[in-house]
Structure 1
Amino acid sequence: MNTKRLSDSMEQALSKQMNVELFQSHTYLSYGIWANDLGYGGIGNFLMRHSKEERDHAIKFMQYIMNRGGKPTIEAVPAPSADPQNLTECFNSVFKHEVDNTEKIYRLVELAFEQKDWATWNFLQWFVKEQIEEETLAMELIDKLKIAGGDRASDESLFALDKDLETAPDDAELARDATSEKP
């Protein structure tokens, strides 16, 4: 008896996204190594923690595919692009990666809707909300660097930014979490 509850095209699309998440993880890991090498241990730590989060996302896709009777396909992870030239390029790249990933998630949601695969559509809603958080976090990185002075930031400002990101939470505060007590 066939117990698979995913179409072949959905299984392939979810596997592809699993591999995208692994690529994102490798990219953030490479950025973290780059930042550490420049002496930005706090920024490096922040990016490496984000790398782990992206890997966890890949595992969520893997487990979901298997839970629905499918078999995830693991592909070779492409090497991340060259190191950024500066923090501005690094943080802008983080934002671009997140926006690109959001668009991929939206395409999966559309496919689930077209196929009337409501279980997968429901599963993907977690990722839709997660991408709001991811993009917000990336925008906050860009904003913090701008406030510090951007590429012309003083050593003191960059030191403070580095220390701030070392202890920064991995989740962004979002408007959806606001209450009348905590706006």
Structure 2
Amino acid sequence: MKGFFAWIGTLLVLAVSVTGLWWANVDFTKKAYPTPYADLVKQSAQQADLDEAFVYSVMRTESHFRPEIESYANAIGLMQLTPDTFDWVRYVLGSEEDLSAEDLKTPQVNVYYGCQLLRILLDEFEKPEVALAAYHAGRGNVNKWLQDPAYSSDGKTLETIPIEDTRNYVDKVMHTYNIYTHLYHWE
């Protein structure tokens, strides 16, 4: 009987240790995959009918949550919109707000229009991976790829993305999306 209690005690210590390691890992992972601008992301995601995890995945991949960042391609802000794309989204939405490219450094403007762009692309391309390819490489490129049997057999799915940088981008956002989805539970 003494051996049985020793065995149960060992199992309890092991279970507590494993649970502690799991929670420590979750805490560490949440620090690597944070949720800044929570109210803003929630509101903008809801307005565009998007999953918050998807928005965070794009934002983390694009800017690592730095609102003032500008890329070599002149993409600006948290969701890395170019001024031309910003103007196009505003045109599609019929927005008459008096905004300039400088406003893309404002989180509220950038996240709202970034989410609206994602919604437009998801409505057009249906599949998240294809919408992300368009977000990164442009709608024109994606439409060409979808018409090319070397990249798409059905005109809707990209079996291959011919630009390595875009292919890596889509993979990274989708990987990040899986992490956010499992780490946080949004409704």
Question: Could you state the TM-score of these two structures normalised by the residue count of structure 2?
Answer: 0.28
* Structure in which a larger fraction of residues adopt helix: 1
Question: Could you state the TM-score of these two structures normalised by the residue count of structure 1?
Answer: 0.28
